[in-house]
């Protein structure tokens, strides 16, 4: 699905060890022949990501940079394999989550107790994945309010709470908010962050204020997909309760 000439939404089937079968929505930003990939999908499900890229009429080799919106396994799961297949690809993330993404700190939601509850095959895959993360190259830090030229121009919005380094992205030309996991679409309705997956829910709700003050005509959530409408009413409802 294309949103304007420079934003391609990928629909990627995902099997979660917690949620079961579902779909996620990574994004490609297009600049001529070059692509920027925003998030990489679930660990062990590279083929589904590759198929979605090819179904969008694009080539993996066109990806020149990867933006990680935060540290969660369904967002960084294919990162080591992509780095292996894309020599020289540039990596970007907020400094609040780079230590976890590079395995210098434990991942916030994949503690040993939780991992031990998952299937044995996934546990083995996960431990190998951590070793691969530790071998990644350097990251360029992304900061709140930073503006970057890709996809006709994006703004970084630091929205901690879901994780310390969680970011949303605003594509001004399309009046599009890439809300990632700060918001969800559930049964066609926009909702706040999932409390079960958000360790600091009060901080995540306070972060909603940072989405104010922009013209937003549509919202894309990593879980739930596209919502055609401003999040402002929802933001007001949630933050009024703070």
Tens of pLDDT, residue by residue over 28-68, are 999 999 999 999 999 999 999 999 999 999 999 999 999 99
Residue 93 lies in a domain: yes
1 domain residue, yes or no: no
The whole model's pTM is what? 0.95
Query: Has residue 67 been placed in a domain?
Result: yes
Residues 6+ apart with CB under 8 A from 118: 17, 126
Domain that holds residue 96: 7-240
Give the residues across from 148 on adjacent strands.
154
Q: Which segments in the chain show pLDDT lower than 50?
A: none
Name, in order, each residue with C-beta under 8 angstroms of 156's C-beta and a sequence gap of 6 or more: 94, 142, 143, 144, 145, 146, 147, 148, 167, 169
Q: What is the CATH number of the domain that holds 156?
A: 3.60.15.10
Residue 117: per-residue pLDDT: 86
Our count of domains for the chain comes to: 1
Q: How many CB atoms lie within 10 A of CB 124?
A: 10
Evaluate whether residue 203 is within a structural domain: yes
Report if residue 102 sits inside a domain.
Answer: yes
The answer as to whether 48 is a domain residue is yes
Q: Phi, psi (5° rounding) for residue 220?
A: -110, 125
Phi and psi torsions of 72, nearest 5°? -65, 150
Which pair of tokens denotes residue 71? 């540290």
Question: According to the model, what pLDDT value does residue 236 have?
Answer: 81
| pLDDT at site 27 | 98
> Is there a domain that residue 2 lies in?
no
């Amino acid at each position: 699905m294309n949103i304007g000439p420079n934003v391609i939404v990928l629909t990627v089937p995902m099997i979660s060890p917690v949620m079961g079968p579902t779909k996620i929505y990574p994004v490609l930003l297009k600049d001529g022949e070059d692509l920027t990939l925003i998030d990489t999908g679930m660990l062990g499900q590279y083929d589904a990501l590759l198929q979605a890229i090819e179904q969008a009429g694009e080539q993996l080799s066109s990806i020149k940079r990867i933006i990680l919106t935060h540290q969660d396994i369904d967002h960084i799961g294919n990162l080591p394999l992509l780095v292996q297949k894309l020599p020289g690809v540039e990596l970007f993330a907020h400094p609040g989550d780079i230590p976890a993404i590079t395995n210098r700190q434990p991942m916030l939601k994949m503690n040993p107790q939780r991992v031990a509850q998952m299937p044995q095959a996934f546990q083995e895959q996960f431990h190998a994945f951590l070793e691969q993360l530790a071998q990644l190259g350097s990251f360029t830090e992304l900061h709140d309010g930073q503006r970057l030229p890709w996809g006709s121009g994006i703004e970084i919005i630091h929205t901690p709470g879901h994780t310390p380094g969680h970011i949303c992205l605003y594509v001004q030309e399309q009046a599009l908010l890439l809300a990632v996991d700060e918001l969800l679409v559930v049964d066609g309705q926009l909702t706040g962050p999932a409390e079960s997956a958000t360790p600091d829910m009060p901080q995540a709700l306070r972060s909603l204020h940072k989405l104010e003050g922009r013209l937003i005509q549509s919202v894309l959530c990593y879980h739930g997909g596209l919502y055609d409408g401003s999040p402002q009413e929802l933001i007001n409802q949630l933050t009024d309760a703070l």
